[in-house]
């Protein structure tokens, strides 16, 4: 009895399914329409764009560096008997300004000793010359040897005199250098010496750098170098420090080789008289380096949304078909992009504003053009502005 009750629902379900199939089978074929024909063209938003000559501002970061940074060291041993207490880090000094005096007593004694040695070697040379003269008169020329004629003895004595003269010149130079003076117009970066300090030869006293110029080292990536057109015009470069002060610069040099670590070109600029200004441009700080360039070919300036992930743009040709074109990206600020087309850069284009990953070259589209006048006027009005 229980098995019969279980089979009843199953039987009813089978009968219901069979009834549905019979109804569907009895429907006419026209009740199941089949879609035929060409699929609808994809709708895209298009920006008409005409290129124009525009000035661009490309910026990067540079690091200020001291010019001719030099470490002044003690050249002899002794106490600092005199010391210029007015010289502090940041002070500007001129060539020859006195900085410190190392006790010259010991080095002066060495000078006198070198003089005495020089006199002895000269006396020896005179003696050898005299003995050579006597030997030449006594000995026959065709029989006697060079040693008998005192030729090597005279040459050795002459060499000793020359050596003694050089030693005297060296110790005299050390005596001069015991008075520490500025070797060129400079700024004091660091001071290690203090009054009455005992110093050894090689002890650092000051670190100085040229006060006439500060260098700015700039690393140029391959992309930035291409944006600059592979050339640098000094008149188009400006430097802005962290206090928004603008500094005129000169092009010092472009390194003739790539940096070993970064594989980038190295550009070195120079700012003249950076310490004489009311606000000094100090070494070892970041500055913004701005290059104002005018590309040779006309430039398109459009919203950054026109770029694909690969850095190209989709255009719509006269037959309303998609064309993928490569570009040279010159600059972008997060909202807009400046670029040139690789081929026919002077020609106007209809550019897809919002490219999709599903787009294929040659696909038929239905373009919806934006207000080209307002769009192009917006870009044209700013065509001469720097970013």
- Does residue 38 register a pLDDT over 90? no
- For residues 39 and 18, give the distance between their C-alpha atoms in angstroms, rounded to a whole number: 38
At 119-170, the pLDDT tens digits run 999 999 999 898 888 888 887 767 678 888 788 888 999 999 999 999 999 9
| Average pLDDT over every residue of 282-291 | 89
The top-scoring range by mean pLDDT among 29-33, 180-184, 377-381 is 180-184
The top-scoring range by mean pLDDT among 56-65, 135-144, 170-179 is 170-179
Phi, psi of 274 (to 5 degrees): -75, -20
Long-range contact list for 240-245, CB < 8 A, 24+ apart? 240/287, 240/288, 240/290, 241/281, 241/285, 241/287, 241/288, 242/285, 242/286, 242/287, 243/279, 245/279, 245/281
- For residues 305 and 315, give the distance between their C-alpha atoms in angstroms, rounded to a whole number: 13
Task: List, in order, residues 6 or more apart from 154 with CB less than 8 Å away.
Answer: 125, 128, 129, 132
Closest by alpha carbon to 288, among 273, 265, 269? 269
pTM of the prediction? 0.61
- Reading the block at residue 26, the tokens are 């009895």
* pLDDT at 385 (0 to 100): 36
* pLDDT at 189 (0 to 100): 92
- Does residue 387 register a pLDDT over 50? no
- Does residue 272 register a pLDDT over 60? yes
Q: How many CB atoms lie within 10 A of CB 166?
A: 12
**157: which strand partners?**
none
| Average pLDDT over every residue of 86-108 | 90
- Reading the block at residue 143, the tokens are 């029989």
Tell me what percent of the residues of the chain surpass a pLDDT of 70: 84
Sorting pLDDT into bands at 50, 70 and 90, what band is 382? very low
3-state helix/strand/coil string of the chain: CHHHHHHHHHHHHHHHHHHHHHHHHHCCHHHCCCCCCCCCCEEEEEEEECCECCCEEEEEEEEEEECCCEEEECCCCEEEEEECCCCCCCCEECCCCEEEEECCHHHHHHHHHHHHHHHHHHHHHHHHHHHHHHHHHHCCCCCCCCCCCCHHHHHHHHHHHHHHHHHHHHHHHHHHHCEEECCCCEEEEEECCCCCCEECCCCEEEEEEECCEEEEEEEECHHHHHHCCCCCCHHHEEEECCCCCEEECEEEEECCCCCCCCCCEEEEEEEECCCCCCCCCCCCCEEEEEEEECCCCCEEEEEHHHCCCCCEEEEECCCCEEEEEEEEEEEECCCEEEEEECCCCCCCEEEECCCCCCCCCCCEEEEEECCHHHHHHHHHHCCCCCC
CATH code of domain 69-102+178-211: 2.40.50.100
At 330-358, the pLDDT tens digits run 877 778 888 889 888 889 999 999 999 88
Task: List, in order, residues 6 or more apart from 252 with CB less than 8 Å away.
Answer: 215, 268, 269, 270
Sorting pLDDT into bands at 50, 70 and 90, what band is 378? very low
- Does residue 29 register a pLDDT over 90? no
Phi, psi of 288 (to 5 degrees): -95, 120
Sorting pLDDT into bands at 50, 70 and 90, what band is 372? very low
Q: Which fold has domain 58-67+212-293?
A: Elongation Factor Tu (Ef-tu); domain 3 (2.40.30)
CB 240 within 8 A of CB 287: yes
Out of 118-122, 248-252, 290-294, pick the least confident. Answer: 290-294
Task: List, in order, residues 6 or more apart from 266 with CB less than 8 Å away.
Answer: 217, 218, 219, 220, 254, 255, 259
Q: Which fold has domain 43-54+296-381?
A: 2.40.420
Closest by alpha carbon to 60, among 242, 218, 292, 230? 218
* pLDDT at 46 (0 to 100): 93
The top-scoring range by mean pLDDT among 178-187, 218-227, 270-279 is 178-187
* pLDDT at 168 (0 to 100): 93
* pLDDT at 95 (0 to 100): 93
| Average pLDDT over every residue of 45-53 | 90
* pLDDT at 58 (0 to 100): 79
- For residues 173 and 168, give the distance between their C-alpha atoms in angstroms, rounded to a whole number: 9
Q: How many CB atoms lie within 10 A of CB 108?
A: 14
Out of 41-50, 55-64, 373-382, pick the least confident. Answer: 373-382
Delimit the domains of the chain by residue range: 43-54+296-381, 58-67+212-293, 69-102+178-211, 105-177
- For residues 104 and 76, give the distance between their C-alpha atoms in angstroms, rounded to a whole number: 9
* pLDDT at 375 (0 to 100): 40
**52: which strand partners?**
299
């Amino acid at each position: 009895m229980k098995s019969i009750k279980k089979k009843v629902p199953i039987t009813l379900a089978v009968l219901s399914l069979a009834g549905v199939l019979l109804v569907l089978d009895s429907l006419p074929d026209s009740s199941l329409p089949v879609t035929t024909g060409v699929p609808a063209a994809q709708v895209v938003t298009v920006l008409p764009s005409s290129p124009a000559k525009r000035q661009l501002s490309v910026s990067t970061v540079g690091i200020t560096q001291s010019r001719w940074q030099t470490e002044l060291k003690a050249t002899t041993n002794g106490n600092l008997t005199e010391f210029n207490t007015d010289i502090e880090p940041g002070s500007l000094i001129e060539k020859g300004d006195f900085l410190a005096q190392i006790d010259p007593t010991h080095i002066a004694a060495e000078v006198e000793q070198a003089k005495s040695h020089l006199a002895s070697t000269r006396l020896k040379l005179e003696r050898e010359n005299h003995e050579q003269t006597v030997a030449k008169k006594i000995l026959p020329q065709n029989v006697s040897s060079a040693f008998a004629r005192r030729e090597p003895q005279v040459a050795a004595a002459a060499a000793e005199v020359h050596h003694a003269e050089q030693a005297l010149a060296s110790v005299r130079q050390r005596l001069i250098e015991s008075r520490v003076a500025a070797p060129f117009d400079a700024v004091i970066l660091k001071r290690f010496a203090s009054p009455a300090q005992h110093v050894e030869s090689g002890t650092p006293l000051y670190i100085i750098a040229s006060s006439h110029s500060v260098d700015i080292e700039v690393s140029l990536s391959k992309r930035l170098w291409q944006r600059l057109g592979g050339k640098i015009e000094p008149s188009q470069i400006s430097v802005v420090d962290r206090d928004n002060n603008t500094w005129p610069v000169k092009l010092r040099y472009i390194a003739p080789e790539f940096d070993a670590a970064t594989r980038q070109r190295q550009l070195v600029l120079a700012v003249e008289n950076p310490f004489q200004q009311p606000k000094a441009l100090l070494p070892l700080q970041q500055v913004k380096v701005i290059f104002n360039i005018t590309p040779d070919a006309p430039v398109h300036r459009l919203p950054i949304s026109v770029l694909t992930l690969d850095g190209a743009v989709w255009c719509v040709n006269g037959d309303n078909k998609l064309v993928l074109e490569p570009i040279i990206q010159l600059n972008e600020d997060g909202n807009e992009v400046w670029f040139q087309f690789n081929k026919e850069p002077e020609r106007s284009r209809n550019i897809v504003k919002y490219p999709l990953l599903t787009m294929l070259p040659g696909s038929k589209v239905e373009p919806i053009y934006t207000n080209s006048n307002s769009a192009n006027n917006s870009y044209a009005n700013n065509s001469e502005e720097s970013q």
